[in-house]
Amino acid sequence: MKPFLTSILILLSLSVFSQKLEKFEFSECLDEELTYSINNRIVSQKFEDDLFVIEISVVVNCCGNELGSIDVDGDTLRLFSSARPEPVEDENGDLVEYVSIECDCICCFTFKYFISGLEKKAYSVFYEDKPIKESEH
């Protein structure tokens, strides 16, 4: 009976403290002319009810930023964006693979992440593998 209760408590704690990206919003290309003068940055971050909402401005490839994902490890929050994989079929119409398309350009976008299950505390925020801070530009 004791191992059963321990297992139940572990499962409950994992579900209570699990972090989930509830929603991801992305802008159109903001301004190609300003792309080279803008730093990746946090535009805003706040807790709204049970969600942590963080908006970032980043310079990334012009194509394929429709999917967001997160990774939380202690007080580190990593934010990601990626292209929606496109199916590739052979001449018979059979699915061969999925590929992500990239363009030969970069642009500034804003991404907004709505995350549930985060503890209300300060986080070190990274976009991909680089730290980002809150700033005006």
What's the predicted TM-score (pTM) here? 0.79
Distance, CA of 111 to chain centre: 8
- Which residues, other chains included, contact 90 with Cβ-Cβ below 8 Å and sequence gap of 6+? 96
Total Cβ atoms within 10 A of residue 127: 20
Q: How many CA atoms lie within 13 A of 133 on its CB side?
A: 3
If we measure between CA atoms, which residue out of 110, 105, 104, 106 comes closest to residue 137?
110
pLDDT of the chain, 137 residues: tens digit per residue: 555 444 444 444 444 458 999 999 999 988 777 777 788 999 999 999 899 999 999 999 888 778 999 999 999 999 999 888 888 889 999 988 888 878 888 889 999 999 999 999 999 999 999 999 998 76
The residue behind tokens 């980002």 is 132
Could you state, in order of their start, the residue ranges of all structural domains in the chain? Answer: 19-131
